[in-house]
């Protein structure tokens, strides 16, 4: 017991004593050491977002998780131990003079035994899987605890809190919704040709290079792979010389376009650069020398400029627009009852927001019940019964609200498990329900909003290297990468598990600077002002077995959107 208290930083209070007793029972029950339990708890805490110091409710959630792992392990062991027993065929030995009066399994005896079953008892049919008798929508114990939680819809962060909320809704002037970029049309994927993919990526390098040349007033670029005694300007894509492993300051290469350097790569020496931030796939300009033709010594990095602003007509005669933004998953890992979504919609029925933006996944392929095959219904049936019906009821009760749906690559209810994605299609037909592509650029009462449902921030953070960066706020720096690279997915090679269709790169470009940029991420929810763009990470509505977060955005009718938008971040 003392080891557990020391490992988990528990004191002698009654609450900590209960926690210690529960942890001790877990060690005994699952035959694990306190050190192993400590590792499992830390992994569980990072997944659910709870505090590292254990509390009794979350320890019980951990127990449920350990029990599931134990049951899964036992089933696997049973399958391995179960051997197929086959009866060896008997050889007819009568040809060798040996009596075989008791030969069995003749066809006659088999058929007679098969049909002489008038007195046989009927065989009880057993379910094929343990979960076959369970209803997919049955509320689990964890979901029941979620419904009875004490603290709900707690505000935990604000941007421009001095601005007023929308106030009571007036129906004289409805919300105006427009697509700034045409929705992505369905396309054939998995038909990429290597040459076409190389051409598309080469064109993007040259496009960013032209922006750098214009922004910095550079007369001409030169080939940095050739030996030169004078400093030159060049551009290219950052990459690594290591096939595996993270980028580091000794492995940085610059891949050139065919126009500048025939697609060759040149090693970069960063010793003279006082500050930089780099990641694989980043397109940058460089200024420096290559004395011997083997290494380019960088004196300065030239980053691309931000996209241009787009002129829009702000409807100044309107009241503020209130928008709720949430990102999936929308149900806990224990069941498919979608209680968190139900709770969010009830809150929206009370507040009557102008817009409700729901970003997938709506039914994730990685949900434990889906991944393990413990689901009776088809994914479309789950979506219709658990999501579509709830949204239809919400729209009936909220006569002036609009619902926007954006898919995710992990969704089981659409046919494009990659990025970018067309809209979900006619999953729900309603005049105030709008289907968005992923990514999408839209306008609400003249406010330009861009949203991308791919966790690029987390993946950039894993690959980024920096030295005394000018912008020390990491989240702002990651968002700035997306804007400066003019694409919602600037990382290359792509992160493990991500499928990006190179023929659709034009559909993931950031064509102009938005007023608001929405990038859901598994990072903790935040809102940042990045070069006059309000960047919002609403977090996820659910995190494994715990409640997540969402955002409320209030857009005031003015051209100065950065200073006239209020964002409230809520814990569900």
- The CATH number of the domain covering residues in 152-167+319-454+498-571: 3.60.21.60
Residue 557 has a pLDDT of 83
Name the H helices within 136-284.
Answer: 141-147, 194-215, 258-261
- Residue 102 · residue 93 · CB < 8 Å: no
54 or 553, higher pLDDT: 553
Residue 545 has a pLDDT of 87
Report the C-alpha gap between 57 and 503 in whole angstroms: 49
Name the H helices within 121-161.
Answer: 141-147
- Among 50-59, 272-281, 511-520, 528-537, where is mean pLDDT lowest? 50-59
pLDDT confidence bin for 119, thresholds 50/70/90: very low
149 or 571, higher pLDDT: 571
CA-wise closest residue to 411 among 401, 419, 402, 403 = 419
- Residue 337 · residue 330 · CB < 8 Å: no
Contacts of 156 (CB under 8 A, 6+ apart): 525, 549, 569, 570, 571
- pLDDT, mean of residues 276-291: 96
- Across 72-76, 152-156, 366-370, 533-537, the highest mean pLDDT is recorded for 533-537
pLDDT confidence bin for 136, thresholds 50/70/90: low
Backbone angles phi, psi at 240, to 5 degrees: -115, 150
pLDDT confidence bin for 192, thresholds 50/70/90: confident
- pLDDT, mean of residues 198-210: 92
- Residue 209 · residue 283 · CB < 8 Å: yes
- Among 78-87, 225-234, 345-354, 524-533, where is mean pLDDT lowest? 78-87
Residue 100 has a pLDDT of 46
- pLDDT, mean of residues 366-382: 88
Report the C-alpha gap between 179 and 449 in whole angstroms: 10
Q: What percent of the chain has pLDDT over 70?
A: 85
447-451 and 565-571 beta bridge pairing = unpaired
- pLDDT, mean of residues 560-570: 87
Q: Give yes or no for residue 193 having a pLDDT over 70.
A: yes
Residue 93 has a pLDDT of 44
Q: How many CB atoms lie within 10 A of CB 164?
A: 9
Which tokens sit at 398?
């909220």
375 or 289, higher pLDDT: 289
DSSP code, position 344: H
Report the Cα 298 to chain-centroid distance in Å: 36
402-406 and 355-359 beta bridge pairing = parallel
- Residue 234 · residue 223 · CB < 8 Å: yes
Q: What percent of the chain has pLDDT over 90?
A: 48
- Residue 142 · residue 336 · CB < 8 Å: no
* pLDDT tens-digit series, residues 29-58: 888 888 888 888 777 776 665 677 888 777
pLDDT confidence bin for 434, thresholds 50/70/90: very high
Report the C-alpha gap between 20 and 16 in whole angstroms: 6
Inter-CA distances, 11 with 16, 19, 62, 269, Å:
6, 10, 21, 53
- pLDDT, mean of residues 371-393: 90
Report the C-alpha gap between 22 and 1 in whole angstroms: 10
Residue 196 has a pLDDT of 83
Residue 14 has a pLDDT of 80
DSSP 329-394: --S-TT-S--HHHHHHHHHHHHH--SEEEEES-SSBTTSHHHHTT---S-HHHHHIIIIIHHHHHH
Residue 244 has a pLDDT of 65
Q: Give yes or no for residue 111 having a pLDDT over 70.
A: no
- Residue 184 · residue 422 · CB < 8 Å: yes
365 or 97, higher pLDDT: 365
Give the dihedral of Cα atoms 206, 207, 213, 216; nearest 10 deg: -140
84 or 381, higher pLDDT: 381
Residue 78 has a pLDDT of 57
Report the C-alpha gap between 1 and 150 in whole angstroms: 31
- pLDDT, mean of residues 486-505: 91
Q: Give yes or no for residue 209 having a pLDDT over 50.
A: yes
Residue 459 has a pLDDT of 95
Residue 456, classed as helix, strand or coil, is helix
- pLDDT, mean of residues 398-409: 94
Which tokens sit at 110?
């088999």
Task: Find out if CATH 2.40.50 is the number for domain 194-302.
Answer: yes
pLDDT confidence bin for 198, thresholds 50/70/90: confident
The neighbouring-strand residues paired with 228 are 290
- Among 125-129, 141-145, 562-566, where is mean pLDDT lowest? 125-129
**Helix (H), strand (E) at residue 442:** strand 440-444
Inter-CA distances, 318 with 208, 327, 431, 555, 558, Å:
38, 28, 21, 10, 10
- Residue 373 · residue 129 · CB < 8 Å: yes
pLDDT confidence bin for 130, thresholds 50/70/90: very low
Domain extent listing, the chain? 2-74, 152-167+319-454+498-571, 194-302
Q: Give yes or no for residue 181 having a pLDDT over 70.
A: yes
204 or 109, higher pLDDT: 204
Considering the chain, what is the average pLDDT of its residues? 84
Residue 218 has a pLDDT of 95
């Amino acid at each position: 017991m003392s080891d557990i208290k020391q490992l988990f930083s528990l004191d002698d209070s009654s609450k900590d004593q209960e926690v210690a007793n529960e942890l001790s029972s877990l060690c005994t029950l699952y035959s694990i050491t306190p050190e192993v339990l400590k590792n499992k708890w830390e992994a569980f805490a990072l997944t659910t977002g709870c505090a590292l110091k254990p509390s009794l409710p979350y320890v019980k959630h951990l127990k449920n998780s350990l029990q599931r792992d134990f049951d899964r392990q036992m089933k696997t062991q049973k399958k391995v131990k179960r051997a197929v027993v086959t009866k060896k065929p008997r050889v007819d030995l009568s040809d060798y003079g040996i009596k075989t009066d008791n030969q069995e399994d003749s066809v006659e005896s088999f058929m007679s035994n098969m049909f002489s079953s008038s007195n046989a008892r009927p065989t009880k049919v057993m379910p094929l899987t343990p979960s076959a008798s369970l209803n997919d929508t049955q509320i689990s114990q964890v979901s029941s605890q979620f419904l009875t939680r004490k603290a709900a819809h707690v505000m935990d962060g604000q941007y421009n809190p001095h601005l007023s909320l929308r106030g009571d809704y007036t129906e004289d002037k409805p919300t105006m919704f427009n697509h700034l970029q045409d929705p992505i049309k369905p396309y054939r994927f998995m038909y990429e040709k290597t040459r076409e993919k190389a051409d598309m990526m080469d064109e993007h390098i040259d496009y960013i290079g032209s922006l750098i040349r214009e922004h910095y007033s550079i007369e001409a670029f030169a080939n940095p792979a050739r030996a030169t005694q004078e400093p030159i300007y060049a551009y290219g894509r950052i990459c690594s010389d290591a096939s595996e492993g993270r980028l580091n300051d000794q492995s940085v290469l610059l891949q050139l376009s065919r126009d500048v350097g025939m697609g060759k790569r040149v090693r970069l020496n960063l010793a003279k650069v006082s500050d930089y931030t780099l990641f694989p796939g980043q397109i940058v300009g460089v200024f420096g020398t290559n004395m011997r033709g083997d290494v380019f010594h960088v004196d300065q990095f030239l980053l691309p400029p931000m996209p241009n602003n787009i002129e829009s007509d702000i409807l100044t005669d309107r009241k503020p627009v209130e928008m709720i933004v949430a990102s999936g998953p929308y149900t806990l890992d224990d069941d498919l009852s979608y209680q968190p979504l139900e709770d969010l919609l009830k809150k929206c029925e009370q507040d009557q927001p102008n817009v409700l933006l729901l970003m997938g996944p709506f039914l994730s392929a990685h949900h434990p019940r889906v991944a393990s095959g413990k689901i009776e219904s088809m994914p479309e049936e789950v979506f219709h019964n658990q999501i579509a019906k709830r949204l239809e009821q919400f729209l009936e009760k909220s006569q002036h609200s609009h619902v926007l749906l954006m898919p995710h690559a992990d969704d089981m209810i659409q046919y494009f498990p990659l990025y970018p994605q067309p809209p979900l299609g006619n999953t729900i037909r309603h005049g105030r329900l709008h289907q968005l592509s992923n990514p999408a650029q839209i306008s609400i009462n003249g406010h330009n909003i861009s949203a991308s449902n791919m966790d690029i921030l987390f993946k950039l953070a894993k690959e980024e290297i920096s030295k005394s960066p000018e912008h020390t706020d990491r989240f702002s720096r990651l968002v700035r990468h997306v804007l400066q690279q003019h694409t919602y997915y600037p990382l290359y090679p792509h992160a493990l598990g991500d499928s990006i269709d190179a023929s659709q790169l034009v559909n993931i470009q950031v064509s102009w600077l938005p007023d608001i940029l929405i990038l859901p991420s598994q990072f903790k929810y935040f809102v940042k002002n990045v070069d006059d763009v309000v960047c919002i990470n609403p977090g996820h509505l659910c995190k494994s077995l715990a409640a997540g977060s969402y955002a409320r955005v209030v857009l005031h009718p003015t051209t100065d959107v950065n200073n006239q938008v209020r964002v409230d971040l809520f814990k569900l």
